[in-house]
Chains A and B, each alone.
Chain A
Amino acid sequence: MRARARERSERALQAYHDGELGALARRRLERRLARSPELRSELEALRALGALVRERGGVAPVPDLWASISARLPAAEGRRAEALAPGRFALPLPRLARPLGALAAVGAAALALLLLAPEPAPEGGVVRWLDSRGTSVLVLEDDPRSMVTVIWVLDPLGEAG
């Protein structure tokens, strides 16, 4: 039982790392990340692994890398569908508990409306992750409302362009 929960957690974390979670699932996981140092360290490990893979990819380019990313997307779609599957709503509840299910559904609908309402401002900046293979990069993100972000790879002498 615990192993299954752990596997589910790992899958969710992987999907989060790959940017594949829907808004609701993402927020739920971010709340868990804020609470759990263990989960945060797992995410860091995933990021480090991703950086390593990308780095290796830069040294010896693999022509089919993007194709392979696309190839594993159906699996990601499967994970997303699994997260949304109604199966978990179909637990064999006792008869008296069923009306409570209706109330829970009303609550869930209200929560979904609350969570999916437009946000007033973006969370965090535009650049969420960056790997320039050791080269210095200048990132100019003045005001989030300026609608412009400049990412400038500096040449080895440190000059901007």
Chain B
Amino acid sequence: MRRGEGAVGARPVGWWWRLRRPRVALLALCVGLAAAPAGAQGPIGLEVLVSHISDRPGPIDPRGARVHRELQGRFRYTSLQVLAQRSMSLALDEVGTVGLPNGKALRVRPNDVGASGVLLAVSVEGTLDTDLRVRNRHLVVVGAGRFEDGTLVISLEPTF
């Protein structure tokens, strides 16, 4: 019998066999590590806020405080009203849709999560398509064009 060929009850004794188990474990480790970023990712949380800013006198909606902090001083408006607020939990490649007050739709699809954040495909129907690489809790504010007497503002904040 050649060394290493297992008859019933026989134990392989060659140096190759001694190397075999650690090698298999290392291969499993490599495959596991390579698969980890794509497979081990849980759902992506996404806070979506749809607001309307205008020059019409009015309050700043407290739900839109963070958006207001970022926009004031950059754009001229006197009131901010939150029209819709949605919390979504999306798996990779799952599409989340939010209806907008102008009859269009916002669609978001997380494509990939890496060390530099989540890659989001964002589409504001008829207005804008974009791919964004966003870190955890990074706020993205989109001015989505004229709406009534002001501007429609969409903010996205992913959590993962």
Contacts and interface: CB of A to CB of B under 8 A. Distances in A.
Contacts of B142: 150-153
B65 interface: no
B115 A118 contact: yes
A52 interface: no
Residue among A98, A105, A118 with the highest chain B CB neighbour number at 10 A: A105
Contact of B138 (A19, A98, A126): A126
A98 B15 CA distance: 11
Contact of B127 (A18, A24, A127, A133): A133
Given A147-B135, A151-B141, A161-B150, A54 B129 contact: yes
Contacts of B71: 150
A161 B53 contact: yes
A151 B28 CA distance: 44
Interface stretch (B5-13, B82-90, B116-124): B116-124
A73 B94 CA distance: 10
B60 interface: no
B1 interface: no
B128 A137 contact: yes
Interface in A20-35: 20-24, 26
Interface residues of A, number: 60
Contacts of A18: 111
Contacts of A23: 37, 114-115
Contacts of A113: 33
B151 A161 contact: yes
Interface in A73-123: 73, 76, 80, 84, 86, 89, 95, 98-99, 101-102, 105-106, 108-109, 112-113, 116, 118-119, 122-123
B131 interface: yes
A130 B77 CA distance: 26
A156 to B, nearest CB: 9
A114 to B, nearest CB: 11
B128 A95 contact: no
A21 B34 CA distance: 11
Interface of A: 18-24, 26, 54, 58, 61, 66, 69-70, 73, 76, 80, 84, 86, 89, 95, 98-99, 101-102, 105-106, 108-109, 112-113, 116, 118-119, 122-133, 135, 137-138, 140, 147-153, 155, 160-161
26 contacts: A22-B37, A22-B112, A23-B115, A54-B129, A61-B125, A66-B95, A73-B93, A95-B16, A102-B22, A102-B23, A105-B26, A112-B34, A113-B33, A116-B33, A116-B115, A118-B115, A122-B116, A123-B116, A126-B134, A127-B131, A128-B132, A132-B127, A150-B140, A150-B142, A161-B76, A161-B151
Interface of B: 15-16, 19, 22-23, 26-27, 29-31, 33-38, 53, 70-71, 74-77, 93, 95, 107, 109, 111-112, 114-117, 119, 121, 125-135, 137-146, 150-151
